[in-house]
Amino acid sequence: MNATHDQALERVANAVIDGRKKPTVEAVHAALKEGIKPYDILMEGCKKGMDVVGDNYQTKKMYLPEVLSSAEAMYAAIEVLKPHLKGEKSSTPGTIVIGVVEGDVHDIGKNIVRILLDGMAYTVYDLGRDVPLDQFIDKARDEKADVIACSTLMTTTLLSIEDLMRMMKECGLNKKVKTIIGGAATNQEFADEVGANAWGKDASEGINKITAFIKERRGAT
């Protein structure tokens, strides 16, 4: 990729970071005219911008309204890219079921992860908050998900995560679908204790681990 292409992708990323929908769309159109592949625009432009947004959110350099503005800009970019991505198998790298477990309605962290996954062109089924545990299992089965990502902010609902991991083992879904947990009430020790495949301390780490799971699985098929 040449310097002109790098500059075009940087303009896409910066427009996403700034949360400016119209400049983002214009930058995407300009990148397409430069002959840059749609998937590269998505990953090296939109995703890189949302990576910065995710990091800035975690370090409190950005706050939720700014993150949502960036998400809107990213979604506008995706709408432009969708027709061009239809023929590219790699544009849908994996399927994730995500939600906040039953008993908890705190979903800001979950929403940030979902936004970042959307920006990477994953197929994401967002079950929302206060999700009955069997919905995670049913949706993962129905959609042949690669990963279940669940979170909780409250220590009182840690039992829900434990129950979900147990239910997955009982039905054998744990052999087919990877699990990652997150949220302020969780940690690596708890993830190990309940049998989750991974724990994400923040959105960026969660995304990296989900990506690693899917690469491993898709690489083996």
Q: Is the domain of 80 the same as that of 100? A: no
The answer to whether the beta carbons of residues 130 and 103 sit under 8 Å apart is yes
Q: Is the domain of 74 the same as that of 101? A: no
CA distance 98 to 151: 8
Average pLDDT, the chain: 89
CA distance 34 to 41: 11
Task: Report which of residues 3 and 13 the model is more confident about.
Answer: 13
Asked whether residue 99 carries a pLDDT value surpassing 60, the answer given is: yes
Q: What does the pLDDT average to over 117-121?
A: 74
The answer to whether the beta carbons of residues 115 and 142 sit under 8 Å apart is no
**Phi, psi angles (nearest 5°) of residue 44:** -90, -10
Asked whether residue 196 carries a pLDDT value surpassing 90, the answer given is: yes
- With tokens 């991974």, the residue in question is 198
Owning domain of residue 186? 92-219
Q: Is the domain of 69 the same as that of 129? A: no
Q: What does the pLDDT average to over 17-27?
A: 96
The answer to whether the beta carbons of residues 70 and 53 sit under 8 Å apart is yes
Q: What does the pLDDT average to over 162-179?
A: 96
CA distance 39 to 192: 36
100: β partners: 151
CA distance 179 to 121: 19
CATH number of the domain residue 77 falls in: 1.10.1240.10
**What is the pLDDT, as a whole number, of residue 67?**
85
Q: Is the domain of 135 the same as that of 181? A: yes
CA distance 90 to 93: 5
User: Beta-carbon neighbour count of residue 18 at 10 Å?
Assistant: 16
Count of the separate structural domains present in the chain: 2
